Chain A
């Protein structure tokens, strides 16, 4: 059974750096083709993809946020960490991490198979 759980601060001040951790079980990020992604959702709004990391440390970022994001993994701890710098009130959202099923050499399966419950991050002074 695959589970994921996000953790991190619920409140950050403008200009601060947000660090979120996704702790997962039921799969390994050392398995070929597997990935973990981060998606956020402002209150009452749509989903927005942020970043993803693959088993081989391949990293992808949203072009609009790339300068502010860093994603990393600790395979031994079954964790993926996302940092976002220079937080602003518009970054207030529920942040989700999600499992990406194994891709193959010929087929990239970048959809989100299992999701964490999400963590609400509020940016306010």
Chain B
């Protein structure tokens, strides 16, 4: 199984500042034949289901603000929120879909306002 490890577990950032969440996979999720990273990011606000933010590591889902960006390749990925807003308080998860089953998620990163 591919193990997904996020860091940090929790993060407090001031409004308007940048938040960066890391996700590391235990093996590469880059498929060489199509040069795609099989990685997605989700946002989960309290009491709500997860919401897809990014897929293919850096493709923003329709309707997601452009202050959210995804980067990285192979085994190391980042989700960056530029200009943090109050509504961005949530838990963020990465997920790999390179080798399935099983589909695996990271343990989550809790983002709060400092």
Binding site for B on A (CB under 8 A): 37, 46-49, 52, 60-64, 96, 106-118
CB of B80 within 8 A of chain A? no
CA distance in complex: A49, B42 (Å) = 14
Q: Which of B64-72, B82-90, B105-113 contacts A (4 or more CB under 8 A)?
A: B105-113
10 closest Cβ pairs, A-B complex = A110-B97, A111-B40, A115-B49, A49-B103, A47-B105, A60-B101, A111-B55, A62-B102, A46-B107, A46-B108
Name B61's closest neighbour in chain A (CB-CB). Answer: A113
Name B31's closest neighbour in chain A (CB-CB). Answer: A107
Interface of A, secondary structure class, is: loop
Q: Which of B36, B100, B102 has the most CB of A within 10 A?
A: B102
Q: Mark B41-56, 1 if CB is under 8 A from A, else 0.
A: 0100000111110010
Q: Is the CB of A48 within 8 A of B105?
A: yes
Q: Is the CB of B49 within 8 A of A117?
A: yes
Inside 8 A of A47's CB, which chain B residues have their CB? 42, 50, 93, 95, 105, 108
Given A47-B95, A109-B97, 11 more A-B residue pairs with CB atoms under 8 Å apart are A49-B103, A52-B103, A63-B102, A64-B102, A110-B97, A111-B52, A112-B42, A112-B52, A115-B50, A115-B51, A117-B49
Query: Nearest-CB distance from B101 to chain A (Å)?
Result: 5
